[in-house]
Amino acid sequence: MMDKHRYEDVGETLWTQTLDNGLRVLIVNKPDYHETYALLATDYGAIDTRYVPVGGREFVQDPAGIAHFLEHKLFEKADHDAFDLFGATGANANAFTSTTRTAYLFSASTQVAKNLDILLDFVQDPYFTDKTVNKEKGIIGQEIQMYQDDPGWRSYLGLLGNLYPQHPASVDVTGTQASIEQITPAMLYRAHKRFYHPSNMTLTVVGNCDPQTVLDVVTRNQSRKQFELATPIVRGVQADLDATAMRQHQTIQLPVVRPKVQVGIKGLVDVDDSAAGVAFQIAVRMLLEALFGDSSPLYQAWYDAGLVDDSFDYSYDAQRTFNYVALGGDANHPEELIAAIRAVIARGAQQPELTQARFERLQHAALGKYYMSLNSLSGIANALSAQSFAGANLFDYGHLLQRLTLADVRAAARQLFRLEAMTSFVILPA
């Protein structure tokens, strides 16, 4: 019987069930919507190139980009393409690969049950040949080249290269031309067998759907298939929380009109997926908004001085084995902007912008944005899927936000703002 959890403060109900084969199913019924959004995700991403395969004892090393390559190839079968099956029902389908996760999705207003079968079947039934794999190498090779010509992407990857020179987080999700040439059908089957077991996957369905009907469809689908007993996944990638291996600064030249600056702050403490870890992430994002948001006195002063323009942005990313802050944008005077950010980091928790009045305004604004985000089916599904094995989920955010204090934000600044953990990457006009 499904577990049912009602979140009264947001008016949402989350239905959950773990099937006998280990597949975790999350369902949110939104009866006022005409659309249903489904996302099937595996805890396997671009950094997971070193692991012990099923039935093995020693680590194997896969080429960079294999998770993304596998995502592409799963759609193609011997006699059809999964996109054609979705198209015949009027559904929109897609997929994506990140550093730690791969996901396959569709949105549909009709024939949801049929589309759920299509989704589960094509992801769980791999088909690879030398011919199809070699054809895909040319397609993905063009994609890699396209990203190499994007200065924004080069700036982002350059920053990760400075932060994580000895960790696969710094390698492009798509891999390199040389790495994808090494990929074989045998490697793809081996990775699929290891990471696409139902026990390592989550199906999230959000929209106008009956939870019991969805579960019945999924249960019937899975009962028709045989899976090996789940075994623990042994991964070869360890957490990188060391500042000594970082590159402090790097400059390259590209055919850009204006310089591009990225400043990173490496997290030196592991941020797990417990409720405390999620609360810390909320505190960090509140800290960044307080200091660098476009309503902050600091941002206004930098803007008036010509240090930044509306391209300036910031983010905090906390993933399995790594976490970091990124700040930057176009800048006419890169050295001055880097020095200004360094001065902020040097102050640690002693930031003039961190006042009680400003904190409360930002807290109210964050709550408003959070409640608005619950109108997005895809946003709900993606967040719940990413947190499916975590100690807190999207529907806990409001409560965690309300419990947040100014002291929590200052504590986050003390933990994260370390000059030895700061790096910069600059692209100058060629």
Instruction: Supply the CATH number for residue 269's domain.
Output: 3.30.830.10
Q: What is the mean pLDDT of the chain?
A: 96
Number of domains in the chain: 2
The answer as to whether 234 is a domain residue is no
List the domain range (segments joined by +) for residue 337.
249-429
Q: What does the pLDDT read at residue 148?
A: 85
Tell me: do 172 and 296 sit in the same domain. Answer: no
Q: Which of 420, 272, 288, 255 is nearest to 366 (CA)?
A: 288
pLDDT > 90: what percent of the chain?
Answer: 95
Confidence (pLDDT) at 1? 77
- Is residue 71 part of the annotated active site? The answer reads yes
**pLDDT tens-place string over residues 57-74:** 999 999 999 999 999 999
pLDDT category at 330 given cuts 50, 70, 90 is very high
Each as own residue / partner, the long-range contacts of residues 91-95 (CB below 8 Å, 24 or more positions apart, any chain) are 91/115, 93/119, 95/71
Active-site position among 8, 58, 71, 181: 71
pLDDT single digits (tens) 337-355:
999 999 999 999 999 999 9
Domain identity same for 371 and 301? yes
Quote the pLDDT of residue 54. Answer: 97
Same domain, 396 and 288: yes
pLDDT value for 93: 97
Q: Within a domain: residue 375?
A: yes
What are 145-155's pLDDT values in tens digits?
A: 888 889 999 99
Query: Domain check: are 258 and 212 in the same one?
Result: no
pLDDT (average), residues 120-135: 96
Averaged pLDDT, 360-367: 96
pLDDT bracket for residue 389 (50, 70, 90): confident
Residue 346 in domain: yes
- Is residue 270 scored above 90 in pLDDT? yes
Residue 232 lies in a domain: no
Is 202 inside a domain boundary?
A: yes
Predicted confidence band of residue 390 (pLDDT cuts 50, 70, 90): confident
Residue 189 domain-assigned? yes
Mind listing the pLDDT tens digit for each residue in 28-43?
A: 999 999 999 999 999 9
pTM of the model: 0.94
On whether both 219 and 253 belong to a single domain, the answer is no
Predicted local confidence at residue 391, as pLDDT? 81
Domain for residue 102, yes or no? yes
Q: Tell whether the model's pLDDT for residue 103 goes beyond 80.
A: yes
Do 194 and 269 share a domain, yes or no? no
Over residues 381-400, the mean pLDDT reads 90
Cα 314 from Cα 379, distance rounded (Å):
20
Please indicate, yes or no, whether residues 274 and 148 belong to a single structural domain of this protein: no
